[in-house]
Structure 1
């Protein structure tokens, strides 16, 4: 079973990085072998092939990647750390050029951003095994960074952010080992999913734009704008973002005060139409009935987990959408079977919109604040999008990711991972 298949975007860009000041360095090259990944197995180590080259502008790490129709692995920098002098012998300082999945990035400061939402562990993407592989490969990648490079890692889960370190740190041996231990428990089991320590909120959260899009009125999808704010405040040269989707850098929906008031009025009308005298009466009865629903849901999941375990299949991780669908199906059955059933009455949300111009204007101001005023080059954001082997990838999805990374002068690849786990037989 192969792990990844690269899908090239319609207009891939493979531009060489701008030349830096010439320095005498050793050119390092290595080749990444295709590896089969399934349950944990011994994996052969990659070796660097070192050659002396004169007039090197900057060390260039060339990572071979799959062509169309082939399979490949996440590129790594090599096991010898190309000059990592560790904590006791100083730092190997200098900009590097990296090519990962045909995506080139240069600089001394790298930020890795990882989506830890449940959606990346759905059956359709291969379940927990796929996410474990992502973590293993990212850890190996970071373990092989040169010691003079600065790096940090950010996790995100909807509107929550977690930073490994408050700011970028040198890729010393001790820092890399500390990072590896920190990442291990992330999304490691059904009981450990998502951000564990919500320890970071970007300063720009206090702006009206952020409060509208990302505050108590935030809408699913807008959290990536919060991630972008955090990225800019970390001030990296280059970013690799791992997720299963990105929204376009375009119109953004939010709930205005008027939207909330109208939705609340409609909600009260629905409760009265259902025969309740007040919102308080409805909520009291619904709260009293809720344990019966939870019991049905828990029983279903426990039965499913036992059947999967007997067949050697990892526990199922339900996405928020899948959880909603399961609850909805159980509520339909209870409505038919139980005379005491109390319906689930929801608000019909109404949304306003920030225009594409307003969204981009906000981030333009952030760019000027964090980069331009310090005469720093703006960051390049590259995205690696993970999809299940059998998942569809539409032109609309492709265009959305392309639009987002284009704004940050970056590139992207869509990687198809492990095949889906067939959960239909447990329904």
Structure 2
């Protein structure tokens, strides 16, 4: 069996295989060439910006020149002169012990040296006066005392209570330093001041006060039913005329407010009001309603019956040696009927509007400003730009069965002036307030 030789592929295709080899070599070279990365490093130069020079006009600065002319003061050396000096002979003062002063604090050195009608201190501490437990500082003291029948009704303590009030008032005035200026006014059925202007609280002037007040509303033998009020004052005194309308009030005012106007005229810096009522400080707006004829007839009968009972009551008191019953000054028929016929209807009142404490105080301020230029209020040693202040202090005597009454009005006006207020209710409270 004969063996045939195998034909090889590449031997048969020698030319085509050479082409393939050549293509393979070129492909390999292309791959190798593609595997290389050409890196080119580019270095950029730093950019610089150059601005074009701009020519600007330059202002020449001017130097501030302040003319200063400094001249040296020529100081002359003091020349010593020979003087003949005589040593004065000094009198030795005896050792004087001053009595204890009650009712005023500050002493002799605490009060300014004032003249008649003058005022204002020289820098020392202000003296302090205490009356019925109320303390107030001031060099110019003005006291207003209610002398009306309202102050002596049985519910407050009657005439005996009023005697205690007068005695305490005089005692406090006796304790004042003589350099303190003061004045006193009485109102209620006639308004009076004892002195024309503020006067020193000397022993002589206080003695005049005591003599003036001693017969006022005092209990006397066979005292009549109407033997009281300012008409019973002692000798002396100056009547306070009925004043004109004062802004912002609609009408002139009375009661304690009228003496207060006089206190403002005299530039008092501490005012004490001893009263039982705010009073009728109001203006009328309309008439009262008209009652029927039958009601008015019945009312008039009750008025006459109350007068008979009132007289019988006081006659019996006089037989026992007791002080008579006192009626308030105004509307006595109404009060008398209310005492003996408490359930009886009373005629209607006219319509009024009461002034507020602020309105009354504004009237006082206007009066004070009006008279300020006429009366010296300072010593002249210095100028003060502060607003001049004054204090209104109220000792309010009320009935034992009274609730609030005029408390709020009095409290308001004392608060606005930084003054003091005290409510004393009945005889026992009056006695305890002075112990």
TM-score between both structures, scaled by the size of structure 1:
0.57
Instruction: Measure the CA separation in 1 of the matches of 2:417 and 2:154.
Output: 32
How far, CA to CA, are the matches of 1:332 and 1:238 in structure 2?
A: 41
Q: Is 2:315 aligned against 1:306? A: yes
Please list, as runs of the form range in 1=range in 2, the aligned pairs for 1:25-424 lying within 5 A after superposition.
58=110, 96-157=127-188, 160-189=190-219, 190-196=225-231, 199-201=239-241, 205-207=244-246, 212-214=251-253, 223-246=255-278, 253-256=282-285, 259=286, 263=287, 267=290, 274=293, 296-319=305-328, 320=330, 323-327=333-337, 348-352=349-353, 358-371=359-372, 377-388=388-399, 390-394=400-404, 397-418=406-427
Choose between structure 1 and 2: higher helix proportion: 1
Q: How many residues align?
A: 300
Shift of 1:228: 2.6
* Corresponding residue SS for 2:191: strand
Aligned-pair distance for 1:122?
0.7
With over 3 angstroms needed to count, the CA separation of the structure-2 counterparts of 1:27 and 1:380, relative to structure 1, is: farther
Deviations 1:177-230 (A, max 9, x none): 222111111112444322227711375x2447556253xxxxxxx634323322
Offset of 1:246 from its aligned partner?
3.5
Deviations 1:30-85 (A, max 9, x none): 679xxxxxxxxxxxxxxx9x9xx9x99727xxxxxxxxxxxxxxxxxxxxxxxxxx
Mean Cα deviation higher: 294-303 or 142-151: 294-303
Higher relative contact order (CA 8 A, sep 6+): 1
Note the alpha carbon deviations across 1:377-396, whole angstroms, 9 max, x for none: 332221112234x33443x6
Change (3 A) 1:142 1:365: same
Change (3 A) 1:406 1:302: same
Q: Deviations over 1:303-338 (max 9, x none)?
A: 2123223444321112245642434788999x9xxx
How far residue 401 of structure 1 moved from its aligned partner, in angstroms, is 1.9
Partner of 1:3: none
- Once residues 419 and 300 of structure 1 are traced to their aligned partners in structure 2, the CA distance between those partners, rounded to angstroms, is 28
SS at structure 2 position matched to 1:351: strand
Change (3 A) 1:329 1:110: closer
Alpha-carbon shift at residue 233 of structure 1 (Å) = 1.3
Distance 1:164 1:274, change over 3 A: same
Q: Is the 8 A contact 2:282 2:352 kept in 1?
A: yes
Q: Is the 8 A contact 1:371 1:378 kept in 2?
A: no
Following superposition, the deviation at residue 164 of structure 1 comes to 0.9
Q: Unmatched 5+ residue regions in structure 2? A: 1-95, 112-123, 220-224, 232-236, 379-387, 430-435
Q: What is the TM-score of this pair, normalised by structure 2?
A: 0.56
How far the C-alpha of 1:114 sits from its partner, in A, is: 0.2
1:377-423: CA deviations, max 9, x gaps? 332221112234x33443x6433221021222211222244259xxx
- Structure 1 contact 386–417 (Cα < 8 Å) conserved: yes
Alpha-carbon separation, structure 1, partners of 2:332 and 2:242 = 30
- Alpha-carbon contact 2:327-2:335 (below 8 Å) kept: no
Alpha-carbon contact 1:367-1:378 (below 8 Å) kept: no
- Tell me the SS of whatever aligns to 1:382: strand
Report the secondary structure of 1:147's partner residue: coil
RMSD: 4.5
Return the index of the structure with the highest Cα Rg.
2
